[in-house]
Every structure is written in structure tokens, then in C-alpha cells.
Amino acid sequence: MSSQTARSNLMALPAIAWLGLFMIVPCVIVFAYAFLTRGLYGGVEYTLTSDNFLRVIDPLYAKIFLTSVRIAGLATLFAILIAYPAAYAICLAPKRAQPMLLFFAVLPFWSNYLIRTYAWIVLLNREGLINNLLRWLGYDGEPLSLLYSEGAVIVGLVYNYLPFVILAIYSSLSRLNGELVEASRDLGAGRIRTFWRVTLPLTMPGVAAGGVFIFVLSIGNFVTPALLGGGRFQMIGNLVYDQFLTANDWPFGAALGMVLIAVMVTLLLLQARASARFSGETAEAKNG
Amino acid sequence: MADALRIKLTGRAILVLVFGFLYLPIAVLVLLSFNDSGLPTSWSGFSLRWYVSLAGNSDILHAAWNTLIVAVVATIIATILGTMLAIGMETRKRRSTPLEALAFAPMVIPDIVLAVALLTLFSRLNVAMGLHTIIVSHVIFDLAFVCSVVRARLKNFDFSIVEASRDLGASSFTTFWRVTFPVLLPAIVAGALLAFTLSVDEFIIAFFTAGAGRASITLPMQIYSMIRFGITPEINALATIVMGVSATVLLISQWLNKEQMTR
Amino acid sequence: MLNPRTVGLFGPRFGMMNLRSDSGDLILTLRQQREKTVKASGDVRASVKIAGLAAAAMLLQAGTALSADLVISNWAGYMAPDIAETFKAATGLTIEVVNHATNEEIMGKLMASQGKGFDVVFVSSPFAHILNGQGLLEPLGAEKVPNLKNLYPQATKLAFDPGNTYAVPYAWGTTGLCYRSDLVEGTPDSWSYLLTPPDALKGKVTMLSTDRWLMAAGLLFKGYSVNEKDPAKIEEAKNVLIEAKKTLLAYDDTTFYSKLVSGEASLVQAWDGWCNYGIAENDKIKFVVPKEGSDLWIDTMVVMKNSEHKEAAMKFLDFILEAKNHAWAASNIFYEVPNKPAMESLDPELIKKYPTMGVSPDTLVKYEELQDLGEAQRDYSKAVSEIKAAN
């Protein structure tokens, strides 16, 4: 028991050391700024204050946070709805073809974020390829405005992070060796019932991990809202970025960053707890 | 039989649709790289001129090489550390909230905060900066993503087979390589692909933790700095080559493998 | 991987080429070895071990930075591509040029590192002002940079730095409206075309998204200063801009001219130099400065106080200020430079094609210089956040 714990801790140690040294230590320095004052020319003055946290409590920032959560949440939902069947289909492919399919799913993302986003603009803009195609097909109404909307931002986010969700779901889906599913079918459960009662619960950790990926990456993204959303949407990542670089207000940026990290980590811990309970129940059901 | 066929066909159809979506903008990008005028607005004829000018653009090629180094090294380190962390966390008898929070933090920390924090630290300690500092920084978030994928696979993992293996006299090392590792392999591969992809595309943290010199410019830094005067289609050409070469290498290795197996 | 030009510059002297190819070979050998081992024994352990070795080799290579006499950070494409060669030929000094994407990013980097490692940096005037306020800049002077005499007199009396004590103006210009004369009726000579557009332009205009210029449009429309600090007036400008969001296609400060070229937009708020890129592709595109006035922007060169090569840095500033070197920027990237002999050497055809290149310094300095806002920056940031978050 205690030797098991010791072994577990030993396994986690290198990563903990790395994060402690290169994440915690530097962030402590920056987070100390949150309690200091902005100097006349930006920079930091060593006058203690709680002012920065009081400024965070403002309906404006709550609104920006909620907008970000909505956009990131919708992107997460759509990505899972697309990625799950995709990961399932990859698992149905011959075993030897599976790594290839995974590889080809991430390959487009070894190009560059900026040029992929520009490619979407070329496709979607009012004088773009899709509108030209429609015109060629005989459509002669007003060109469609597909860009600079919340929809365009969501498409951009789903597109850019979809492979990550596919990878996460695949890695837990491929573990199902089919026996369990077959057993369930043999016992007379229908295909849909089997999926809902056996397959989905067992792959929930993968879905959760993939969902977390796209959610956290989306909420911190600012290239997509700026280019595909026409800068009409302010995401939370952008807000922190602006404080540090545009407004030169490091203390406020640090305070916003701290609050954001605290909120997000809490949400993730709650999510982890909920999914642990969920899979715990299914595990019991499986054993019982 | 008809049932199995139907499932197979549905699977194929889904793959075609999803891959169509993933490659749609890529097709545009490849097309633009062969467009003589280089403008996205009109097609002015097939041309290889952007490939020729790419070959003479040492800045872009140098940056691409740096990006490869950063991504490969960061991925190797992050995959090892992240996998170990995942195993450590999932084999614990009791969940540790601080440890869970620590594993989530790198994913939610705003890039700019981490970037400014790291630069402040490195410069206070007078650390000479370069590709190595970018690598150190990328490992931070890469390892969190790897850990997360591997943990998802370890959930519901039946650790009794590990105990069984040990009871049968296998050393813990053998147990790991023969029992745990094969189960984890797909998740480790997925995590590594994820880390590599994240690293290749990361800009802000790389910009802040790079040294003050050309020696540590990565491709995203190069491309973002071109925004002001327009990104040339050379970048499209480079992306086309990168994807083309990676795909070819993989297809050949797959084919060689097959040859070997059939022999 | 490197072309002969770069090798000639850095290679033989610093042995960088050798270092690189050596460790490259090492990595290659390691990889081959790894493949062999994996095939031979099928043992994953060996491959992990070798992957570790490869990582160490790559790290080793990553750590080898080359040292030049001068490190200069600039926007990509803002200087002659052969600047390193010509500077070396003239002074025997080697330079290394690195790029930044925006003022904001290089500022963040300079503030966090106290400017260590950089010698000369190109930033816009309000940012130079802040850097100087932070004590990060080295004082300049005619004795160190004799070619300051080439500057127009107007460029030596700029309000942010009279007498060029810490910054040398590199390029300057204004912000206005860039439009398709075939899609816009008449001359859109007022900010109202942007903020309360006629029906034909609704949904076909874009504004700059960087906070100062976004706010400037609203402030100038209301008849206020671009450096207005009165919260009530900032509030008014904010409300105008929120209202204007309804008729706006997008906020864009990178691709607006291609939106004009494609016809996606008909009128965009633009920096004069950038509008010229549109003109280069479509001669129906024109530029106008609204009658309510506009701002004067100045991109500058500064020398960092922490630089260990200040003398070389001053030589570089002096070199750029030589008429033929400074004229490069004007004739290649279509920005006016505040250098009298350089501007006088320009081809008249160029000025005919790009009228903004012919604007006199007297006209330019009548526009209002953007200045650092101090405490009021907070109000601007918040206003811009509100505008961007409005729906």
C-alpha cells in the first residue's frame, strides 16, 4: 500500500518538478504583480493594493467571460458530435490502417494556424470560393455573408481543434475490444442500447479529455475571433493579452489571469470529479 | 453479413466527410501555392515561382528547421514526463486535488501570462536564451495534454492484471513494458501527436522565450512577423511541402513494413 | 538549409555551419542507429534511450547561439533585405536582424527582459516614449549620430521627443480612409463615411482594431483630440463606435487592403502606407484624409540602454540615415521617410502613382501626434473592450 503510493509519487515526480520549476516559480513572480500598482509608464510600482481585484469584478468582464464560454462551449459540442463518429470510424478500419488515419487527421495542422485561417477567409468571404461556386451553379441572389459572425468563429475553432478531440476519443475508444459490445448484443441489447449503456460510458473519459482540450484552447484563442469573427467578439484570452501588451497594465493583467486560472481549474476539477463518479458507477455496473 | 457491410460503409462515409472538412482549406492553400499572382483573389495561371523563391528564402527555411527541433525535442520530453505523471496519478489509491490542479493548470493558464512569467524568470536568472528555453517552455503545456490523454485511457484500467503479473514473479520493469505499456501505446502515440502539433503552431510563448537572435526564430514567429507587409505565398508553398513530405515518408514506411511482413 | 549569402555572413567566421551540420549528422546517425536497433531487437527500451540521446544532441545544438556585433529587431520587410551586407561593407560590423509582429509584443519582451540582448529596436513613437520613461533607452545626439542632420527640421521637433534625444524617426505618415473610387460615390472626406455610412456602404466598411486608432476615429468624428483624456469625452466616442459596429463589416488591421482589392469592402480605415499596397494592385483605390483631421504616426529607431554594443548601434542609426539607405524604405514599401535628401532623391513617377508619398512634412506635422496616455490608457482599454464585447 505505502510502497504503491511511493511508486506512484515517484512516477509523478519528474513532471511535478518540471512544472514547479518552470511554471509555478515564474508565475508566482507575475502573480505578485497583481497586488502592486501600475507605474506611470506601465511597469510595476511597489505599492501594495487590492485595487486590481476590485476592478476584475465588473459586469463587462463577466459578460466577456460568458460570451467566451458560450462560443467555446458550442465549439466543444459540435467538435464532439463530429469527432466521436470519426474516431469510431477509425476504430472500425483495419488495425494497421488506424495509425495512418490518425496521422492524416493531424497532418493539416502541421501547416500554420495563420495561413489555415486565411484559407478559410478565401473560402468564406463574400467574393470567396464558396460564393463563386454558388454563382456558377446558378445562384444569383445576394452573396452569402458567411464570415465575421459567431458561426464563422465556431467553425474556425472546431476546425482547428477537431483532430485533438478525435485523438482523445480514439485513445479511449480503441481500448474496447469489441467483446464487451458483442456480449451486450448477445444478451439481447439493441445496437443503440448497447451504445448508450456500454460503449459511451466506457469511452466517456476520452470524450471528457477531448472536450476539455477544445474548450480550454478555444477560450484562450484570439487569432480566430480576430480574423474569422472580424474582431467583433472579445474572448477572455484576448482580454488578458491586451492588459499585458496593449494597455501595459501588468498588475491588472496578473489579477485577471489569476482569477481566470482559478475559475477554470475549479470547473475542470468539478468536471473530473463528476466524470469519475460517472465511470465509477459504470465500473460497478460492469462488475456487479 | 449485410449488417457488417452496412456498418463498414457508414464508417467509410463518415471518414470521407470528416477528412473532406479537414482538407478543404488545405486544398485552397495548396492551390494558392501554385497561383502565379500569389493573390487569393484570382487565379492567374499555374506557376512554381513561389517554390523557387522559397528555396532562396533562408529566413523561412531556417525558421522551419528550428520549429522542427523545438517540436521534436519538446514532444519527446513531454511524452515521457506526461505519461509518467498520468501513471503516477492513476495508480494512487486516493485522488490528490493539488496534483490534479497542477496537471490542469498548464492547459488553462493564458499563454501571455506564462510567456511573460518565463521571460521574467529567465532574465532575472541571467539564463542565456535560445531554442532550449523555448523547448523547456513548450514541455510545460505539452506534458499536460499528453498526461490528459493517457489518463483517459487508464480510467477503468484493470490494475489487477498488473498485480497478477507481479504475483507471477515478473519485475515491475518487465510488468510495465509487457503489460502496462502495450495498453497505453495508442494513448501515448495520440498524446505525442497532439503535443507535436501544439508545439509546431505555438507563437506567443516561443516569441517571449526565444533568444535575441536569429538562431532561435521559429516558423510561427517568422510568419506572424510578416503580417504587416503581407504573408507571401512562399508560406503556402512551405506548408504544401511539409505536408507532402510527411505524407510521403509515412506512406513509404508503411509500404516497406508491409513488404517486410509479407516476406 | 542556409543559402550561400547567410553562410558567407555568419558561417566561416563563427563556424555555425559546421556546428549545425555536425550535430545534424549526429542526429541522423542516431536515427539510423535507432531504426536498426528497433528492427534488430524489437526492444522499445533501446529506442527510448536513443531518443533521449537524440534529444540531448538537439538541445546541445539548440544552445549554440551565434553572436553578431549587433542585434536589431524590426518588422519583417521594413528594411532592405541586403542591409546586413551593405552595413558590413560600410563598417565591417556584422548585424543580425530579428523580427517582431507588433509593437505590443516587442514591448512586452523588452519590459520583461529589461531589453537584454537587443541593441537597436524599431517601435512606434508612443512605445518609444514608454521605453524611455522606463529608463530603458540610451540617449542619442548629433555627436554620436551625425546624419541626424538629414532629417527634415519638422522631424526634429516632434512633441514626443524634441531634439531626437532618444528616438530617431524612421518613417511617418497618417491614417485616413482608403476606398474604391468605383464603388464609392464622391470623395469620402469625413469620418462620418466610416461611422455613419450611407446605405450603399453599410456592411462594406472596416475599421482598424488596434485600440488607439479605433478610438481615434470616434474621437476625431466628435471633434476631440486623438489623445483625449477626459473620461466623459472618451465615453462619447465609445458610444459612437458601439453604434458604428452595426454597419461595420469587420475590425481589421492586417488584411483590409486585400478586402478592398477583392471588393468585399468598399471603404476601410487605413494607414497611408498600407493603402498604397492596395493601390499597387488596383488603381481604382484611393486614399483621403478626412476633413476633421487625423493622427500623425511615427515609427522610430531606439538604442537600448542595456546594449553592450552602443557604439556599433549608433553607427547603424547613422547608416540608415544616409540618404540612399533611408530612401530604400520610401521607394520599396511606399512609406514617407522624414529624411530630406532621401525624399528628394525619389522618382517623380512613384509620387504620381502613390500621392501620399508627395505629402509635405508641413502638412504631415499638422496632424496630431499620438502620445502615450499615461493613466488614461486604462480608460481607453476598457472602452475598447466594451466596444468589442458589444453586440
Instruction: Give ipTM to 2 decimals.
Output: 0.90
Backbone angles phi, psi at C287, to 5 degrees: -125, 140
Residue B102 predicted with pLDDT over 60: yes
Contact (CB<8Å) A245/C108: yes
Residues 143-182 of chain B with CB under 8 A from chain A are: 143, 145, 147-153, 155-156, 172
Grid cell of C165 as nine digits: 534625444
Contact C385, A234 (CB under 8 A): yes
Q: Per-residue confidence at C51, pLDDT binned at 50, 70, 90? A: low
pLDDT tens figures, A87-132: 999 998 888 888 889 999 999 999 889 889 989 988 998 888 888 8
Among A86, A216, A269, whose Cβ lies nearest the Cβ of B97? A269
Percent of chain B with pLDDT over 70: 97
pLDDT at C18: 30
What single-letter amino acid sits at B229?
A: F
DSSP E strand boundaries for A235-288: none
Residue B157 predicted with pLDDT over 80: no
Domain hosting C19: range is 4-63
Contact B91, B179 (CB under 8 A): no
pLDDT at C43: 45
- The answer on C58 and C128 residing in a single domain is no
Residue B11: inside a domain, yes or no? Answer: no
Contact (CB<8Å) C101/B120: no
Backbone angles phi, psi at A21, to 5 degrees: -75, -45
Alpha helices by DSSP H, listed for B155-203, are 160-167, 172-175, 181-201
Residue for grid cell 526492444: C43
Q: Per-residue confidence at C68, pLDDT binned at 50, 70, 90? A: confident
How many domains is chain C built from?
3
pLDDT at A278: 67
Contact (CB<8Å) A209/B152: yes
pLDDT at C53: 55
In 3D space, the residue among C99, C154, C103, C155 whose CA is nearest the CA of residue C131 turns out to be C103
For strand C120-124 and strand C295-303, is the pairing parallel, antiparallel, or unpaired?
A: antiparallel
What integer is the mean pLDDT of A244-263? 92
Residue B20: inside a domain, yes or no? Answer: no
**For chain C, what is the mean pLDDT?**
85
* Closest chain B residue by Cα to residue A25: B121
* Angle of helix B234-262 versus helix A98-106 axis, rounded to 10: 170
Residue B48 predicted with pLDDT over 70: yes
Residue C95: inside a domain, yes or no? Answer: yes
Question: How far apart are alpha carbons A60 and C378 in whole angstroms?
Answer: 14
Domain hosting B75: range is 59-231
Residue B228 predicted with pLDDT over 80: no
Residue A187 predicted with pLDDT over 50: yes
Contact C55, C34 (CB under 8 A): no
- The answer on C190 and C215 residing in a single domain is yes
Domains, chain A: 58-287 (1.10.3720.10)
pLDDT at C24: 35
Higher-pLDDT residue of B249, B108: B108
Residue A288 predicted with pLDDT over 70: no
**CATH of residue C265:** 3.40.190.10
- The answer on C90 and C54 residing in a single domain is no
Length of chain C: 391
* Closest chain C residue by Cα to residue A131: C264
Contact (CB<8Å) A19/B243: no
Neighboring chain C residues of B112 at a CB cutoff of 8 Å: 108
pLDDT tens figures, C359-385: 999 999 999 999 889 889 889 999 999
pLDDT tens figures, A151-167: 999 999 999 999 999 99
- The answer on C206 and C143 residing in a single domain is no
- The answer on C311 and C290 residing in a single domain is no
- The answer on C87 and C31 residing in a single domain is no
Question: How far apart are alpha carbons B223 and B219 in whole angstroms?
Answer: 6
Contact C52, A14 (CB under 8 A): no
Residue C201: inside a domain, yes or no? Answer: yes
In 3D space, the residue among C307, C305, C272, C300 whose CA is nearest the CA of residue C286 turns out to be C272
Per-residue DSSP letter, B46: B
Contact (CB<8Å) B62/C262: no
Question: How far apart are alpha carbons B191 and C338 in whole angstroms?
Answer: 54
CA B51 vs CA A111, A177, A187, B57, B223: distances in Å: 15, 47, 61, 10, 16
pLDDT at A23: 96
Grid cell of C159 as nine digits: 512633441
What integer is the mean pLDDT of C310-326? 96
Residue C40: inside a domain, yes or no? Answer: yes
How many domains is chain B built from?
1
- The answer on C151 and C216 residing in a single domain is no
Residue B243: inside a domain, yes or no? Answer: no
- The answer on C144 and C81 residing in a single domain is yes
Grid cell of B163 as nine digits: 498485480
pLDDT tens figures, A124-137: 988 888 888 898 89
Q: ∠A96-A100-A103 over CA atoms, to 5°? A: 150
**CATH of residue B164:** 1.10.3720.10
In sequence order, the 6+-apart residues with CB closer than 8 A to the CB of B154 are B86, B87, B90, B184, B187
Q: Rounded to a whole number, what is the distance in Å from the CA of A189 to chain B's nearest CA? A: 16
Buried/exposed C307-343: b ≥16 CB within 10 Å, e otherwise = bebbebbbbbbbbbbbbebbbbbbeebbbbbbbbebb
Residue C161: inside a domain, yes or no? Answer: yes
Looking at the DSSP bridge assignments, the partners of residue C73 are C98, C121
Neighboring chain C residues of A237 at a CB cutoff of 8 Å: none
**For chain B, what is the mean pLDDT?**
89
pLDDT at C65: 44
Percent of chain A with pLDDT over 70: 93
- The answer on C375 and C273 residing in a single domain is yes
Residue B16: inside a domain, yes or no? Answer: no
pLDDT tens figures, B4-36: 788 889 999 999 999 999 999 999 999 989 988
What integer is the mean pLDDT of A65-81? 96
pLDDT at C266: 96
pTM: 0.88
